[in-house]
Structure 1
Amino acid sequence: MKTNSWTRRAMLLLAALTALLSGCTTYVTTQVTAFSDWSGSDATRTYAFTREPEQRSNLELSTYERIVANELATHAFRQVDRNEARYLVGLSYGIRSDLVTVAEPVYYNPWPAPYWGWGRPFDPWGPWGPFPAGYVNQSYPIFTHLLGVRITERATGKEVYNVSARNSGAESSLVRAMPYLARSALADFPLGNGVVRTVKIPLDRNGGTSNETAVPAAGAAAAASAPAAAPGAKAVQ
């Protein structure tokens, strides 16, 4: 069967649109909540990780500590032995799964084949369809990933910074979500007390965190006085 000119044009348009969308940036969006009593007077930010007794041989926690250590290093933190550290850093983390049910429309076409409508050459169904036939409930798994970072003074035990990060999506692995949580939690360190905001980190084509330079969202009232964002993090107040 010979393809007519309108069909060829529609196919070319669809191919161009697909190529355009494949180059779009996808973001991981994380909600961050911070509580702070940070003085900012320390010249050297030395720290050590602290653990509960049952966590001392936890390989999963060791993996997350390395990820958080990389982010702390971008804010002049230097990891040392516990007895030499000014600060102790403790981590909490977790993942929760839920099912989300969405009502989705179902369509049908009463004609045996697609028809072209008058004056609508790029509408393959023309004015005759498809027609909504109703809705059907579809359930999808969704996973919520959590990271908490708590910083205390070793000498006094005083809590000086406590930040939590949470994001949700189809990713079922906490390990793959952790780089986004850590970068979001520590972006623009230190945040003010009681700050709640959203951080967007671009996802690169290989599925890892992007090195794209952050640009705070325009019109954010608090952004003007905040320090520069961590690489790859985009803050939305």
Structure 2
Amino acid sequence: MVKAILICAALAAASLTGCAGLSADVHTAHPSATLSGERTYAIARMPSQEENADHPPFESVLRDELAKQGFGEAAGQPAHYLLSVAYETRPASVGVGAKDCAPTDCVRPPDAPFSLFGGRAYQHALTLRFFERASGQEVYKVSAVSSDRDADPLHAMPALVKSALAKFPFDAPPDWRVKLRADGTSGVPGVVSVKPLQP
């Protein structure tokens, strides 16, 4: 039993260190959405984002990827879409489940302040929401989540943005796995594959 737990922990650690390659899980609330009309947008910022030093460089990465999808920021005229951007980085936990205990006896242990094989693991998340400016209706929402051992959200953002916009829009089903590989010269991640997650 102890051997099995150690193997599971090692596999979990390997997936977080990048041995299995860089990947992100993507979820969309509006599979196969149709974004009609002019592809212009304006980013709707929250006050906390206006004050956050990480936000301007992050928006630069996002603008570049949106331009590849044919979107441009509205210049001197109202945008067709308002784009809401939310992102966070937080410590992740790796749990080990046990099947041989009664539900009342299975108590989740507190998260360890470190992982078994190196530094603490972190989960990075990005959510993009497109609203039609005229109606205020949300027409597309996509989220991307990845894990690694880097606490800096700016290091994770290029991969998250690439993953969230790897297909635009994503078709059904709503859940996908995007695999990426960092370019050896520039370090910028490129999409290797986009596959639906099996239920």
Q: What TM-score, normalized to structure 1? A: 0.59
Larger Rg: 1
1:171 Cα deviation after fit: 2.2
Q: Of 114, 122, 125, which residue of structure 2 is paired with 1:146?
A: 125
Q: Of 181, 193, 197, which residue of structure 2 is paired with 1:234?
A: 193
Deviates more, 1:180-189 or 1:140-149: 140-149
Question: For residue 41 of structure 1, what is the aligned residue in structure 2?
Answer: 36
Question: For residue 16 of structure 2, what is the aligned residue in structure 1?
Answer: none
When residues 38 and 100 of structure 1 are mapped into structure 2, their CA distance, relative to the original with a 3 A threshold, is closer
Structure 2 gaps, min length 5: 1-18, 97-114
What is the correspondence of 1:52-71 to structure 2 with a 5 Å cutoff?
A: 52-71=46-65
Q: Of 73, 88, 92, which residue of structure 1 is paired with 2:82?
A: 88
CA distance in 1 between counterparts of 2:169 and 2:34 reads: 10
CA distance in 1 between counterparts of 2:93 and 2:36 reads: 46
Structure 1 gaps, min length 5: 1-24, 103-136, 212-231
CA distance in 2 between counterparts of 1:210 and 1:26 reads: 15
SS at match of 1:59: coil
CA distance in 1 between counterparts of 2:95 and 2:174 reads: 32
Question: For residue 157 of structure 1, what is the aligned residue in structure 2?
Answer: 136
Q: What TM-score, normalized to structure 2? A: 0.69
Kindly indicate whether residue 182 of structure 2 is the aligned counterpart of residue 203 of structure 1: yes
CA distance in 1 between counterparts of 2:163 and 2:134 reads: 28
Work out the percentage of aligned pairs sharing the same amino acid: 32
What is the correspondence of 1:60-139 to structure 2 with a 5 Å cutoff?
A: 60-81=54-75, 83-98=77-92, 100=94, 138=116
The higher relative CO (CA closer than 8 Å, separation ≥ 6) is in 2
When residues 82 and 150 of structure 1 are mapped into structure 2, their CA distance, relative to the original with a 3 A threshold, is farther
Q: Once superposed, what is the RMSD of the aligned Cα atoms?
A: 2.6
CA distance in 1 between counterparts of 2:34 and 2:126 reads: 23
CA distance in 2 between counterparts of 1:69 and 1:180 reads: 14
Q: Deviations over 1:32-78 (max 9, x none)?
A: 00122732432x30111111234334332222111111111111101
Amino acid at match of 2:195: V
Higher strand share: 1
CA distance in 2 between counterparts of 1:143 and 1:82 reads: 40
Amino acid at match of 1:182: V
Q: Give yes or no for contact 2:69–2:168 (8 Å, CA) kept in 1.
A: yes
